Structure 1
Amino acid sequence: MDGPRASSLRELRPDDPTRIGRYRIEAKIGEGGMGAVYLGRGEDGRQVAVKVVRAELAGDRTFLARFHDEAANAQRVASFCTAQVLEHGEDLGLAYMVTEYIDGPSLLEHVSENGALSPGMLHGVAVGVAAALVAIHSAGLVHRDLKPSNVLLSISGPRVIDFGIARALDMVSSHTRTGQVVGTPGWIAPEQITTQQVTTAVDVFAWGCLVAYAASGRNPFGQGSFQILAARAVHAEPEVGDLPPSLSGLVQAALRKDPGARPSARELLLALVGGGGEAAVTTELGESWTSPPLAADPSTTARDGASAPSPPRPSPPRPSPQLPPQPQASPQPQASPQPQASPQPQASPQPQVQPQAQPRPQPDPQAQPRPQAQPRHSPMPAAEPATRPAPEQQPTAYAPPPRPWRPPPPGRSRRNTLIAASVAAALVAAAVAGGVYYLNRPSGKTGDAGAKPAAFPSGPLLVRIDTEPGWPKTCHADIGLFTPGGAVRTLVGGPSCDTLPERSPDGRLVAFTRSGGGSTAAWVMNADGTGARKVTDIAGGRVAWSPDGTRLAYMGRQGGAKQIFTIGLRDHKVTQLTDDDSAKDDPMWSPKGRIVFWSKRDGAEQIYTLDPDRPGGAWTRLTRDGVRSVDPEWSPDGSKIAFTRGTSEESAIWTMNADGSAARAVTSGGGHDMDPGWSRDGRWICYVRGATSDPVLHAVRADGTGDRVLTPAGSVLGHPNWA
């Protein structure tokens, strides 16, 4: 299904809006103390989350002023590991805020359904949420309500939502009652309960609770009423369970009662990645993150005959270094002192702190209940996990006694400054339109700390040369060679339409698609353009070489549907590999033997592989997020796949491992990026950006850096492929 999973959405009721501002409302995601959250769609087709404030709050001038101020501040937050705030306004008497829609379960949902996170996912959540807090704090905001339902596990990594809006409720005189605390019991810091000044340290405390919960499925302060949880947060020691050594000491430090003794978010991040700056952050996320499984897909399991590939085994956790002593960040006061918590629960119709929902009954009375899952983007408080006896505390790699942070010693400030400046500029070079994604390290040592950036390839590219305008409605194209910074040389031309050149593995031949006279065929020529000859009629699209260069894969028609075939160049033996009625295209043969392609068999275009030596055999689905994914292209060593992801108007070039893991963007998208092709050393990716009628060739390193325009002025080139 394209977009959100049906299980997390609710149909609209008569009293729900059908349009807010520029956005058409399609479904309801959830509801909470501030209002409702809807799935919306913009005029450009982009899905968004629209948070609509309750009518009674929208009539409060104090609240509205604070709400819009905080929404404007939230728009400044770098969109690394967060859901980007797009706009805010008022319509039909309703105040609203629009954010990027993140498709993926919340941490609460995932742990409720699957239990504690694997070591790799746990480390990814710890790093990603810490990075999000650095971005939020760098914008002068405090989240105040960080909890598992506000962390979404997308295909690109953990994303923090609902930051910068809790303070608006805190400032409403007619709706903030004496004894009411903004936050969710089990995740709020002691100083929020005892009405001390709220600083960024409250988010660090919530980070510690969240990581401990993700590792065990239990809140470190147990479950119970607000009064019980508040008392434990203020007086009791947390039960963090059996955390990995690389996290245990950091979590314990984050959960200190004294906010001044906690590390800052940037110090957490430095410790988690070994203090290595932006390269270390992107490397840690890229190596540790495995996207969570989506809802069970019976059709895939039944038809594929095989389950999804297993996630890669995480690297052993590295010992956490001593955090560099540094003063706690001192943001400006975020609010007036908050009133003392009431000894009894308030009977407010929409309290900001509510007793935790009771866990679902379990068949086994000894089993520990898991929390109820909340809808994504929902501001509702998370349900509380059960309490278990505290295990015997084990020595950890980092557990210094509580103390204030002191200025860093000489020689460490520059490293810290990399993170402190801003996440967008210093942590990553990957802030992209519509989201920020973890970058892929290419093969070899490119992307490692201290390694030189990969030099731009010196060889030419095979290209489609448009000799007249009109593509793709009408085609007048030749096949040629283009050397960036040099000339364009035609290899084969004429009145026919020649497109999609593909170099053979040994570089001696070029396959391409020729159309004309009402038919389309696969052709092969020598690398210098001589000896062009027809191989077979096809149903359009590209052709691909087998690893040994003796066969071609192509699209043919059988029974009214396009199917994948192979043909031998010497014996002309034809083998049909697929026989279903789904739309499919872009077959590409891996150097290791499998064929990758896209199909709409399970909804939107998704990427699959199959074994060409087993015609009619099971497919393996690699992308599972329902976002359009096409143009798959194997890296030269067969370890990665580059592909086009997103709607045609806002698509970007992504890469992923051969098993579908570690998917991430390498271009910013938003400009119709498509048709990726790898350089021979696997360190660069060429691609096309812009309208299909006026394409511009680009190239970017496989780690997302060094993006550059290649097309000379006056030339219209497409379908690039390094020769």
Structure 2
Amino acid sequence: MDATSLGELRPDDPHQIGRYRIEAKIGEGGMGAVYLGRDPEERPVAVKVVRAELAGDKTFLARFHDEAANAQRVASFCTAQVLEHGEDLGLAYMVTEYIDGPSLLKHVSDKGALSPGMLHGVAVGVAAALVAIHSSGLVHRDLKPSNVLLSISGPRVIDFGIARALDMASAHTRTGQVVGTPGWIAPEQITTQQVTPAVDVFAWGCLVAFAASGRNPFGQGSFQIMAARAVHADPEIGDLPPSLSGLVQAALRKDPAQRPSARDLLLALVGGTGEATVTNELGETWTSPPGGDPGVTSRDVSGAAPAPPPPEPTRPAPEPPRPVPELPPEPRTRPAVERHTVPPTEREVLPPLPPARGGGTSRRTTFLASAAAGLLVAGIVAGAVYLANRPSGDARNTGAESAAFPTAPMLVRIDTAGGWPTSCSADIGLFKPADKSVKTLVSGPSCDILPERSPDGKRIAFSRRGDTTGQAWVMNADGSGAEKVTGILRGTRVTWSPDGTRLAYMDEKQGVRQLFAITLQGHAVTQLTNDDSVKDDPMWSSTGKLVFWSKRDGGDEQLYTMDPDRPGGTWTRLTKDGVRAVDPEWSPDGSKIAFVRGPATGSAIWVMNADGSGAHAVTSGGGRDMDPAWSPDGRWLAYVRGPVADPVIHAVRANGAGDRVVTPAGRVFGHPNW
């Protein structure tokens, strides 16, 4: 890095943040200032320090640290790794890997549109970064050319995991404003709809179109003009290569549900031509910023390439990069931090080295650089394909990105009068999202709630809530043959054993909530727990485990599993961060658990693996998201959003994409069970 591009520290700048010595100022952005620092081993890092007014906002700080912790889980495929976050001197900070190289914005501004090979490399690299980010449950929200750095090891995406915190601050301090950059934010961000990974796919389309032409697909203008074009106008994507044109057009669709996922983009980019073809093509054409690329030419409006530039001085070939590690990423021997987004005037490139003997570019140097780039792209492709095709056992990639919306009907609670949950008049019904039709299965003056379909689909269990007591009932799938099974704790749910012969439920014994199981034939009861903790929400998996929440270890509700065939046996704690976790729901194959995480007034739907690993959000939260339910194929989740008395059922892909309202206006449904 050229030291002359860094700003000197001012008297009010910190000289030490946490364990990092601050050497210079890199720049400033919407969050605060960014500094070049050194860790105790003298390795360079970038330290991002939050603005003082934001540091005093408790809501922002909580979200900032939560999102920074999530960002630390992101695999370092084409991203800048988040290393640490904390607070010091009354300031919040985040430390990230230092990436030396010009931004895509500066490179295109200085040198013009990218060559076809380098353009494909940027498209692949940024798509791979988005797969890594989305697989960790994050959405970038502010992807743009200044947040993509062209390092010697390829394109690297920076500044992920903080825009959501800024969005939260905006909601509290800058009502009506949108966090994002005109020309790169999706229509749903402008119209303040739910933010999903699809907003990053839209930004990817804008970014690739810009890299190919040097122009934003929605032109130039004020925020209002750019926003109106993004919402209403068709993008101008220019003369893109055939391998990218269709993907960019799909990424820029107005409806987020109609856009491909990052995984779809990646598989199309690296799978359509074959890994060997992509590797060879990019290995020959990828540049090695920040030293410039004599092969990149800018195109005029007619599409003709200008005369070749004069030869550049010879530079030593870069060393081949390390292979991309599998998750979790192995510790780097020299952790460094990305360069933060700063104005082009503050981002300089390294000066060229003196020319080699003879004054021309060495063929050997060109060959070595090309070979190193080929190894780089092979690593990117291999790592990206690994992320895109990760086994379904990893909750961060469910394979659901391209799943069509299910046609299966869902069981629901139908509120026949207002007042829930203080008073209750509710039936059990069958709702078909495809045609919005509703069929009541059991009706009457009673309060019937929490329907659960049996494993074979032939029966339905539900809870009947009385004024002071509760009952577990079972009926046939068509609503006939309803009969009471046993008394249960008022307002709690029942759950089926994998073979459909037993129900698990909550009841009280000597004033303490305990888990029980009952056989449907003979009604033999087994007490499963005998401790004194508060607990609820049992759910039986297809593999035979019970999951439930308990306050056994103090604090808020946490999720545990146990073997119901070993009553009183050992529990396994799944959630360990102390944040409230309730309403667990097993996926159909028993490999994942969806659950509600966060305070009751600001909860979100999360998904984790059966062992508690890989936990990540699939809804944005900020309101009240609850009652998750898996689709029969395990690729979608239904859930309830909004006030308890006036809920709305949504559905979302298991990767967080394609969120949509399912139930029609004017009808109040709850407790979905797909």
Instruction: Give the TM-score, by structure 2 length.
Output: 0.51
Instruction: Report the counterpart of residue 170 of structure 1 in structure 2.
Output: none
| Rounded Cα–Cα distance in structure 1 between residues aligned with 2:47 and 2:503 | 43
Of 409, 425, 428, the match for 1:460: 409
Of 526, 532, 541, the match for 1:581: 532
Instruction: Report the counterpart of residue 568 of structure 2 in structure 1.
Output: 616
The gaps in structure 2 that reach 5 residues or longer are 1-12, 35-45, 105-148, 161-203, 205-243, 248-259, 268-275, 292-332, 334-364, 389-393
Of 450, 453, 463, the match for 1:513: 463
Q: Secondary structure at the match of 1:615?
A: coil
Instruction: Report the counterpart of residue 262 of structure 1 in structure 2.
Output: 152
Instruction: Report the counterpart of residue 79 of structure 2 in structure 1.
Output: 131
| Rounded Cα–Cα distance in structure 2 between residues aligned with 1:648 and 1:87 | 30
How far off its partner does 1:707 sit? 1.3
Once the two structures are superposed, what CA deviation does each residue of 1:19-60 show, in whole Å capped at 9, x if it has no partner?
xxxxxxxxxxxx9845689xxxxxxxxxxxxxxxx9xxxxxx
Instruction: Report the counterpart of residue 89 of structure 1 in structure 2.
Output: 53
| Rounded Cα–Cα distance in structure 1 between residues aligned with 2:265 and 2:534 | 36
| Rounded Cα–Cα distance in structure 2 between residues aligned with 1:474 and 1:655 | 32
RMSD across aligned positions (CA): 5.3
How far off its partner does 1:704 sit? 2.0
| Rounded Cα–Cα distance in structure 2 between residues aligned with 1:537 and 1:476 | 20
Instruction: Report the counterpart of residue 286 of structure 2 in structure 1.
Output: 326
How far off its partner does 1:685 sit? 1.1
Q: Secondary structure at the match of 1:89?
A: helix
Q: What amino acid maps onto 1:552 in structure 2?
A: L
| Rounded Cα–Cα distance in structure 1 between residues aligned with 2:150 and 2:620 | 39
How far off its partner does 1:587 sit? 0.5
Instruction: Report the counterpart of residue 315 of structure 1 in structure 2.
Output: none
How far off its partner does 1:716 sit? 0.4
| Rounded Cα–Cα distance in structure 2 between residues aligned with 1:673 and 1:161 | 30
| Rounded Cα–Cα distance in structure 1 between residues aligned with 2:640 and 2:61 | 31
The gaps in structure 1 that reach 5 residues or longer are 1-30, 38-53, 55-61, 75-81, 111-120, 134-145, 153-159, 165-186, 192-197, 202-258, 285-317, 332-370, 372-398, 420-426, 429-437, 448-452
Q: Note if contact 1:84-1:100 (Cα within 8 Å) is conserved in structure 2.
A: no
| Rounded Cα–Cα distance in structure 1 between residues aligned with 2:264 and 2:85 | 22
Instruction: Give the TM-score, by structure 1 length.
Output: 0.48
1:13-28 equivalences in 2 (<5 Å): none
| Rounded Cα–Cα distance in structure 2 between residues aligned with 1:619 and 1:506 | 28
Q: Note if contact 1:88-1:98 (Cα within 8 Å) is conserved in structure 2.
A: no
Q: What amino acid maps onto 1:543 in structure 2?
A: V
Q: Note if contact 2:473-2:485 (Cα within 8 Å) is conserved in structure 1.
A: yes
| Rounded Cα–Cα distance in structure 1 between residues aligned with 2:31 and 2:626 | 34
How far off its partner does 1:671 sit? 2.4
Q: Note if contact 2:48-2:94 (Cα within 8 Å) is conserved in structure 1.
A: no
* Cα distance, 1:87–1:557 mapped onto 2, change above 3 Å: farther
Q: What amino acid maps onto 1:628 in structure 2?
A: R
| Rounded Cα–Cα distance in structure 2 between residues aligned with 1:105 and 1:73 | 16
How far off its partner does 1:511 sit? 0.7
Instruction: Report the counterpart of residue 343 of structure 2 in structure 1.
Output: none
User: Is 1:550 the equivalent of 2:498?
Assistant: no
1:4-43 equivalences in 2 (<5 Å): 33=15
Of 657, 666, 684, the match for 2:618: 666
| Rounded Cα–Cα distance in structure 1 between residues aligned with 2:501 and 2:413 | 24
Instruction: Report the counterpart of residue 382 of structure 1 in structure 2.
Output: none
User: Is 1:564 the equivalent of 2:515?
Assistant: yes
Q: Secondary structure at the match of 2:76?
A: helix
Instruction: Report the counterpart of residue 440 of structure 1 in structure 2.
Output: 396
Q: What amino acid maps onto 1:162 in structure 2?
A: M
User: Is 1:639 the equivalent of 2:599?
Assistant: no
| Rounded Cα–Cα distance in structure 2 between residues aligned with 1:522 and 1:654 | 28
Once the two structures are superposed, what CA deviation does each residue of 1:622-675 show, in whole Å capped at 9, x if it has no partner?
122222111111111112111111222222212122122222222222221111
User: Is 1:625 the equivalent of 2:581?
Assistant: no
* Cα distance, 1:32–1:534 mapped onto 2, change above 3 Å: farther
Instruction: Report the counterpart of residue 604 of structure 2 in structure 1.
Output: 652
Once the two structures are superposed, what CA deviation does each residue of 1:489-528 show, in whole Å capped at 9, x if it has no partner?
2211222211100011111111111112422111111111
Q: What amino acid maps onto 1:531 in structure 2?
A: G
Instruction: Report the counterpart of residue 45 of structure 1 in structure 2.
Output: none
Q: Note if contact 1:556-1:562 (Cα within 8 Å) is conserved in structure 2.
A: yes
Instruction: Report the counterpart of residue 94 of structure 2 in structure 1.
Output: 162
* Cα distance, 1:589–1:568 mapped onto 2, change above 3 Å: same
Once the two structures are superposed, what CA deviation does each residue of 1:567-609 show, in whole Å capped at 9, x if it has no partner?
1111111111111111111101111111111111123211111
Q: Note if contact 1:87-1:99 (Cα within 8 Å) is conserved in structure 2.
A: no
Q: Note if contact 1:622-1:659 (Cα within 8 Å) is conserved in structure 2.
A: yes
Identity, % of aligned positions: 49
How far off its partner does 1:702 sit? 1.7
Of 31, 36, 44, the match for 1:71: 31
Q: Note if contact 1:328-1:405 (Cα within 8 Å) is conserved in structure 2.
A: no
1:83-482 equivalences in 2 (<5 Å): 88-89=52-53, 98=61, 100-102=63-65, 125-127=75-77, 130-132=78-80, 148-149=83-84, 162=94, 262-266=152-156, 279-280=262-263, 324=283, 325-327=285-287, 403=369, 440-442=396-398, 446-447=400-401, 453-482=402-431
* Cα distance, 1:261–1:520 mapped onto 2, change above 3 Å: closer
Q: What amino acid maps onto 2:646 in structure 1?
A: D
Q: What amino acid maps onto 1:469 in structure 2?
A: G
How far off its partner does 1:70 sit? 5.8
Instruction: Report the counterpart of residue 705 of structure 1 in structure 2.
Output: 657
How far off its partner does 1:469 sit? 1.3
* Cα distance, 1:705–1:508 mapped onto 2, change above 3 Å: same
User: Is 1:590 the equivalent of 2:522?
Assistant: no
How far off its partner does 1:531 sit? 1.7
Q: Note if contact 1:491-1:528 (Cα within 8 Å) is conserved in structure 2.
A: yes
Q: Note if contact 1:650-1:673 (Cα within 8 Å) is conserved in structure 2.
A: yes
* Cα distance, 1:493–1:283 mapped onto 2, change above 3 Å: farther
| Rounded Cα–Cα distance in structure 2 between residues aligned with 1:88 and 1:263 | 35
| Rounded Cα–Cα distance in structure 1 between residues aligned with 2:14 and 2:266 | 37
Q: Note if contact 1:326-1:405 (Cα within 8 Å) is conserved in structure 2.
A: no
Instruction: Report the counterpart of residue 375 of structure 1 in structure 2.
Output: none
Q: What amino acid maps onto 2:76 in structure 1?
A: A
| Rounded Cα–Cα distance in structure 1 between residues aligned with 2:594 and 2:477 | 24
Q: How many residues align?
A: 409
Instruction: Report the counterpart of residue 678 of structure 1 in structure 2.
Output: 630
How far off its partner does 1:188 sit? 7.6
Q: Secondary structure at the match of 2:53?
A: strand
Q: Note if contact 2:512-2:533 (Cα within 8 Å) is conserved in structure 1.
A: yes
Q: Secondary structure at the match of 2:79?
A: helix
| Rounded Cα–Cα distance in structure 2 between residues aligned with 1:525 and 1:283 | 47
| Rounded Cα–Cα distance in structure 2 between residues aligned with 1:533 and 1:721 | 20
* Cα distance, 1:596–1:473 mapped onto 2, change above 3 Å: same
* Cα distance, 1:327–1:483 mapped onto 2, change above 3 Å: same
How far off its partner does 1:267 sit? 9.0
